[in-house]
């Protein structure tokens, strides 16, 4: 990974955090918003495929925790775990934007499930089964849609010399 | 399909980070939103405030469009219902105006007066957005610099109770609405005082009276009680949803709050208690607890 790629990833995470707390904080569909920060983390993991992606995910999650009222460390741990799953599974995907988007959706599903399980254990999740199910279904779909748009952009920005999307 | 790759250092790294996150989480929960981690949280909020403010300005028109598109159908239905309710309220207002005039005369004669919102120091603030998809807490664009402190009550444009401040820093704050708060609110319905508690995943709250309860009727007004320490007395909270009879000496009734936190665009923060100002050493700390809720150790209506 080049310094340029890392700086771009940090910038991308900041933009995602700003979008998450502004645009997606207000504009929700069916009461649910995508997890833009997780999309940024996963798209970075696609191009990095190494330990920096896990550290990046941990830090991004920690900052996101600090900006919300959930316990510090909840998203940090979950994002780091999802990033680990991501770099272990990305090679099984085909190198096209739709395949990458579907994979982002799957990884998001893992993240949402982890959030609900760990969040419930630590008393951080305050919702009934219906609400939880709505998020389990909708957040991965929204992230998949975001990834279709963002995967080609991130591929071009983060590793322009590499061909394909993975 | 590509060859599956393994990475020797990734597993120990992720295990370390997960353990670290659990340690941080445990400390954060146990410190009840105070101490070093609260300072770190405040610092992060302050540092990213300019980014969020810029983002807010840039995406506000887009957010408005998406929001309006997604709400257009429900708004039409709601408009119809509101028109009908408006006519009803106008008739009731006319009757109330006469009563208010009589109350004012009686207060003057007896040298007492009831407090209203104008008696408090208030700060208007814009709602920036929700903190995340999993929580009803939302962010305001003003914080400590505007005198907004942890624990201050929050009402909407009409003076209806919304919730209270859970976190505040220079440049912003976070509000936990009453429908997502683990703490109950001490309220009054007619002549009886009881507790009003949130129900997880529901927009209806539960009003409970445990001694010498009497029946309540749909539409009965629910206001904060003078016994409530966290809120000024007399703030309208909601109305009883259905006619309810007491069971024995206890009463459990459903209450529909007047405000819907997800639709708020601006709110008013009340400086309460009235002598609480920024910089006072005895400013009470109200710790954040799981789920974005706050616990006030001194709250007489705290749920177990």
How is chain A split into domains, by residue range? 3-158
Token pair belonging to B246: 């007491």
pLDDT recorded at residue A94: 72
Tell me which residue of B188, B185, B187, B169 sits closest to B177, measured CA to CA: B185
Q: List, for residues B103-112, the tens digit of each pLDDT value.
A: 878 877 777 6
Write out the H or E segment, with its range, that includes residue B29: helix B10-30
**Nearest beta carbon to residue A73 from set B7, B28, B180:** B28
User: Do B67 and A26 lie within an 8 Å CB cutoff?
Assistant: yes
For residue B216, give the DSSP letter.
Answer: B
pLDDT recorded at residue B128: 81
pLDDT recorded at residue B37: 82
As its CATH architecture, domain B185-260 has Beta Barrel (2.40)
List C-alpha distances in Å: A6 to A1, A52, A136, B193.
7, 9, 30, 58
Q: For A29, which residue in chain B has the nearest alpha carbon?
A: B70
- Domain positions in chain B: 185-260
A contact test, residue of B74, B133, B261, B289 with most A CBs within 10 A: B133
Q: Positive or negative CA dihedral for B141, B146, B151, B152? A: negative
A contact test, residue of B291, B294, B304 with most A CBs within 10 A: B291
**Is residue B303 a contact partner of residue B182, using CB atoms and an 8 Å limit?**
yes
B133 touches chain A (CB under 8 A): yes
- Which of B96 and B2 is assigned the larger pLDDT? B96
Segment A111-131 mean pLDDT = 86
pLDDT recorded at residue B298: 40
Q: List, for residues B271-304, the tens digit of each pLDDT value.
A: 887 665 544 444 444 444 444 444 443 443 333 3
Segment B54-80 mean pLDDT = 76
Please tell me the distance from the alpha carbon of residue B222 to that of residue B219, in angstroms, as a whole number: 9
B174 touches chain A (CB under 8 A): yes
Segment A57-79 mean pLDDT = 90
In this predicted structure, the answer to whether residue A55 has a pLDDT above a threshold of 70 is yes
Task: Please name the residue that has the structure tokens 């009934």.
Answer: A128
List C-alpha distances in Å: B293 to A13, A14, A105, B151, B230.
27, 26, 30, 12, 14
Residue A159: pLDDT band with limits 50, 70, 90: low
Tell which B residues from 26 to 55 touch A, by Cβ distance under 8 Å. Answer: 27-29, 37, 40-41, 44-45, 48, 51-52, 54-55
User: Do B60 and A74 lie within an 8 Å CB cutoff?
Assistant: no
């Amino acid at each position: 990974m080049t310094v340029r790629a890392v700086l771009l990833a940090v910038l991308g995470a900041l933009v995602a955090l700003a979008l998450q707390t502004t645009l997606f904080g207000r504009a929700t569909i069916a009461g649910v918003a995508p997890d833009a920060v997780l999309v940024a983390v996963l798209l970075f993991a696609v191009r990095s495929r190494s330990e920096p992606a896990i550290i990046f995910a941990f830090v991004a999650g920690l900052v996101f925790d600090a900006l919300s009222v959930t316990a510090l460390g909840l998203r940090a741990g979950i994002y780091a775990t999802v990033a680990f799953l991501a770099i272990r599974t990305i090679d099984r995907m085909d190198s096209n934007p739709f395949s990458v988007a579907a994979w982002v959706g799957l990884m998001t599903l893992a993240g949402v499930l982890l959030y609900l399980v760990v969040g419930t254990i630590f008393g951080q999740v305050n919702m009934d089964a219906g609400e939880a199910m709505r998020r389990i279904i909708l957040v991965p779909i929204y992230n998949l849609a975001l990834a279709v748009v963002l995967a080609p952009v991130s591929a071009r920005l983060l590793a322009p010399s590499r061909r394909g999307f993975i | 399909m590509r060859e599956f790759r393994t990475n020797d250092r990734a597993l120990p790294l992720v295990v370390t980070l997960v353990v670290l996150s659990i340690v941080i989480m445990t400390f954060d929960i146990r410190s009840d939103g105070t101490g070093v981690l609260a300072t770190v949280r405040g610092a992060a909020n302050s540092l990213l405030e300019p980014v969020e403010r810029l983002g807010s300005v840039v995406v506000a028109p887009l957010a408005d469009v998406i929001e309006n598109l997604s709400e257009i159908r429900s708004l039409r239905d709601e408009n119809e219902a509101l028109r009908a309710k408006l006519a009803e309220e106008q008739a009731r207002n006319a009757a109330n105006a006469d009563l208010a005039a009589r109350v004012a005369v009686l207060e003057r004669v007896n040298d007492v007066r009831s407090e209203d919102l104008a008696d408090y120091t208030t700060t208007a603030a814009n709602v920036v957005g929700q903190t995340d998809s999993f929580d009803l807490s939302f962010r305001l664009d003003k914080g400590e610099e505007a005198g907004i402190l942890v624990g201050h009550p929050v009402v909407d444009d009409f003076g209806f109770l919304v919730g209270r401040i859970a976190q505040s820093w220079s440049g912003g704050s976070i509000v936990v609405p009453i429908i997502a708060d683990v703490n109950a609110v001490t309220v009054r319905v007619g002549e009886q005082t009881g507790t009003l508690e949130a129900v997880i995943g529901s927009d209806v709250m539960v009003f409970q009276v445990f001694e010498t309860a009497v029946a309540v009727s749909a539409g009965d007004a629910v206001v904060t009680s003078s016994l409530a320490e966290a809120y000024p007395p007399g703030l309208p909270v909601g109305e009883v949803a259905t006619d309810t009879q007491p069971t024995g000496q206890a009463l459990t009734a459903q209450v529909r709050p007047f405000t819907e936190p997800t639709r708020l665009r601006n709110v008013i923060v009340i400086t309460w208690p009235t002598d609480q100002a920024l910089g006072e050493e005895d400013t009470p700390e109200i710790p954040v607890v799981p789920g974005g809720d706050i616990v006030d150790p001194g709250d007489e209506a705290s749920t177990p």
